[in-house]
Chains A and B, each alone.
Chain A
């Protein structure tokens, strides 16, 4: 009888196997095994290959020539090796990993743009990925050079602090058979949407002025979606037309989009203003007009006022695609939603592991944050109690993030 010759397995079967790998990290390893495995699998999408390595910030006047590098960072849940026998259950580790501006592999705060640890500090061999199961939770794209944890430096003109979330998707209009084209979508300071396609030199700010500024973007089932501060949600067509996905809900101050269990959820954040400060502005005033974030003094004043907001509570909605409405959810069940600055994702509580789901893990913006605080700045909103708790009050949850679990050997 035939000795199993795996390299000769029918292509269709190899393709099915490669599709079942849980992240592109493993898809790439699959493709490296041999040429027949490689030709049977579809290469994981890498939008950055179709885009320049540096971008300007989106701006109405296209005089700015400064460009900044783009980085892709991936969020993983790492589970401990199954063969270790300990009395206590080993907890997994939630990390965000990506290159810094000097090309070094680094760990980042999963919910913000701050650095957490430079991986190379520890000996690489402690981190044997062969023994661990990695589960990809999400990824994000960030444009700009990154500051240290100190908020002082992060307000310099060179930083990307005012860059909002950036998402990437396939440009179906322009992709030919061989060429792939990618598009980046983000929100300009004014609250309008901005697009950057393969081959562009500058961001194109979409002229349509929404009744309310856009506050979040995401890619859902391959389609780019944007939501404004009232909850009105649109899908961006390949011809840049905007089609209604759901009507506004009004409610709170900022809206976010999260994909969870195959459906799209809306998170509505209610915030209170707890203070404000002035900041030197780096763009032309016309860029900031109609943005809720800023208020201005006289025309020639080169600074503006930023409000410091803190979340008070959240509402969650699920999408009714047929009626084009957001329907309020009173219970998330086993799900835990994570709201990061550049990425949002959902995980089952049982995978984390956490005793209960039905909560939302988030981080308020850095504005006005205590300079000397060493914490991650992460809070948890429990939907049942309608209450915000600091992460430190939930040790099992807090241990997900930091310090690195004992079994990693990194502590």
Chain B
């Protein structure tokens, strides 16, 4: 039994359970990239199934795929496939699971999507309410007059 265990430890499998009940079997070294999961394993060595309550199966699948395939080329293409909603949920997943590489990649992707867009456009796309007072808004516009002048009225 002990021999089997030491042979299998390099390819020990772990089960991750997403919030909607979907199960994923992953190799230990993949799961270890998720620092949150690593901490779980450190606490209870014998655990086989780890619950991931904040992440849907759909997104956990994407995260696992990312960890397996990540490299410069993959990262560059990775973010292009997702819409804004998925991007946000993936970012929250990466944040919860504490995967710094994925978090960086997604933050960069979001920054790229909002670059050069007007604040009004950003609010529309991200569904955010402008809660600045009119005085604060006027002050902001004054601070960098020409930054707004070039912006299209959308």
Which residues of A pack against B, CB within 8 Å? Answer: 1-7, 9-10, 12-13, 16-18, 20-22, 25-26, 28-35, 37-38, 97, 105, 124-125, 127-134
A15: nearest chain-B partner, CB-CB: B107
Whole-angstrom CA separation of A147 from B34 in the bound complex:
60
A21: nearest chain-B partner, CB-CB: B111
B113: nearest chain-A partner, CB-CB: A17
Of residues 86 to 139 in B, which have CB atoms within 8 Å of A's CB atoms? 88-89, 91-92, 95, 103-104, 107-108, 110-112, 114-119, 121-123, 126-132, 137
Distance in Å from the Cβ of B54 to the closest Cβ of chain A?
A: 10
10 closest A-B pairs by beta carbon, nearest first, are A129-B150, A20-B111, A6-B126, A4-B88, A32-B119, A16-B107, A7-B128, A128-B152, A17-B107, A4-B85
The reply on B45 being an interface residue by CB < 8 A is no
Whole-angstrom CA separation of A12 from B132 in the bound complex:
21
Distance in Å from the Cβ of A186 to the closest Cβ of chain B?
A: 25
Distance in Å from the Cβ of B75 to the closest Cβ of chain A?
A: 14
A25 touches B111 (CB 8 A): no
- Please count the residue pairs between chain A and chain B whose beta carbons lie under 8 angstroms apart in the complex: 113
* Chain A residues, Cβ within 8 Å of B103: 13, 16
Q: Which of B114, B127, B149 contacts A30 (CB 8 A)?
A: B114
Query: Could you jot down 14 A-B contacts, CB within 8 Å?
Result: A4-B126, A6-B126, A16-B103, A16-B104, A20-B107, A30-B122, A32-B119, A33-B126, A35-B132, A127-B150, A129-B152, A130-B117, A130-B154, A133-B116
Whole-angstrom CA separation of A132 from B116 in the bound complex:
7
Given contacts A30-B119, A131-B152, 4 further A-B contacts (CB under 8 A): A17-B110, A28-B147, A29-B117, A34-B128
A18: nearest chain-B partner, CB-CB: B111
Distance in Å from the Cβ of B132 to the closest Cβ of chain A?
A: 6
B127 touches A32 (CB 8 A): no
B129 touches A7 (CB 8 A): yes
Of the listed residues A5, A35, A97, A129, the one surrounded by the most CB atoms of chain B closer than 10 A to its CB is A129
* Chain A residues, Cβ within 8 Å of B118: 29, 130
Whole-angstrom CA separation of A9 from B92 in the bound complex:
8
B110 touches A124 (CB 8 A): no
Distance in Å from the Cβ of B100 to the closest Cβ of chain A?
A: 10
Whole-angstrom CA separation of A394 from B131 in the bound complex:
51
B116 touches A31 (CB 8 A): no
Whole-angstrom CA separation of A25 from B150 in the bound complex:
11
B108 touches A33 (CB 8 A): no
The reply on B151 being an interface residue by CB < 8 A is yes
B132 touches A105 (CB 8 A): no
